[in-house]
Amino acid sequence: MPERYIIHVDMDAFFAAVEQRDNPALRGRPVIVGSDPKGGKGRGVVSTCSYEARKFGIRSAMPISEAWRRCPNGVFVTPDFGKYSQASEIIHRIFYDFTPDIEPISIDEAFLDITRSYKLFGTPLDVCRLIKERIKAETGLTASVGLAPNKMAAKIASDLKKPDGLLEVKAGEVSEFLRPLDIGRIWGLGPKTANILREQGIHTVGQLADCAPTELYRIFGKHGPQLRELALGHDDREVVMENEAKSVSNEFTFEEDTAVEREISEALLALCDKVSSRLRADGVKGRTITLKIRLEGFITFTRAATIPFATNYTDVIHESVRELYGAFKRNGKKVRLLGVKVSGLMPAAIKESLFEEEMNNKFEVAHKAVETIRGKFGRGAIYRAGGKKDI
């Protein structure tokens, strides 16, 4: 089996770094991105913060009131997700110049498998350097990068070299690299599990690797020996491309629980229309259609059907959804929420049948006409008769 080369790219204090990039007056200052602290009485949390703010013990997901108490003179900034998304899109386009095998973890973090492509650019380490240079040149931001034979080691490597760092862990050196580290570094080992291990006197990855599998099984069940495998540096988790196992869905919650069939019918049609629009915008279609129904009391049900040919047409999706809803028994309970999902996606250009194009011609003409109107005047300019306008 050929040696794998996995890169983990993690942007440094991403939201705060974007704010400091766009406002030079914020550079070198403790910037806390999150909800309004309201003088220490705010109820939200910290989205992220600059490295200057971290010196005060502030971290992501901390209550914003606690962040204010620790650093009342910090600069508290309301998140601008549109701006962060624009920067993220540029970064992901850079990734695709080096490999198609990309697994986004979040807006500011991703795994890249360069096993099949690195030779186009030199060595695997050359690819890492080029990615960092491109990100800096095209966004003005810094990233920390880890290179290793597997995902866990690559992620740990990038974490250890923050900010603006680069660390390579070579094949055959993973176990030695991991042994002295705190068990909290293991990707996939949560805080509760780490606390249980520490109570057993196990504090380092090396100590966990030296544990008998039978003892770990006694403490954690079947997951115990798996933890030891990770501690030994054995991680066969693949990089899952972002276009795999994807779905498109939308949900709608009624202002008040309802049993009025007209309201339910309108919502279902509007949801199908919205899902159809998103599928077509993404250039995909799907074969599995799922209806989600949440009744009063928060009891949730799902019903699914697989159709003969993949679709992104409102009428086809709606026909399946109507059949699924018609077969569902509410037993007198009111509906709180409805959802429609299409999965099993493939590129819309793929034809599954010689007859498909002829069957779909009328749908295609109608959808393109609707899309033209919405493109000029907005989504609310046209909506289907019998459907809600405001979903």
CA distance 334 to 179: 57
Report d(CA 63, CA 38) in Å as an integer. 12
Type of residue numbered 269: L
CA distance 242 to 356: 27
CA gap 291, 317 in Å, rounded: 10
C-alpha 71 chain-centroid distance = 30
Residue 381 in tokens: 């300019």
The first and second tokens of residue 371, run together, are 């899309």
Question: Tokens 């026909």, residue?
Answer: 319
Which amino acid is it at 28? G
Question: Of 86, 91, 33, 85, whose CA–CA distance to 62 is shortest?
Answer: 33
DSSP β-ladder status, 109-113 and 102-106: antiparallel
109 a catalytic residue: yes
Q: How many CB atoms lie under 10 A from the CB of residue 2?
A: 6
- Residue 337, both tokens: 């929420």
Tell me how far apart the alpha carbons of residues 343 and 85 are, in angstroms, rounded to a whole number: 25
> Looking at 109, 138, 199, 266, which residue is catalytic?
109
Catalytic residues: 109
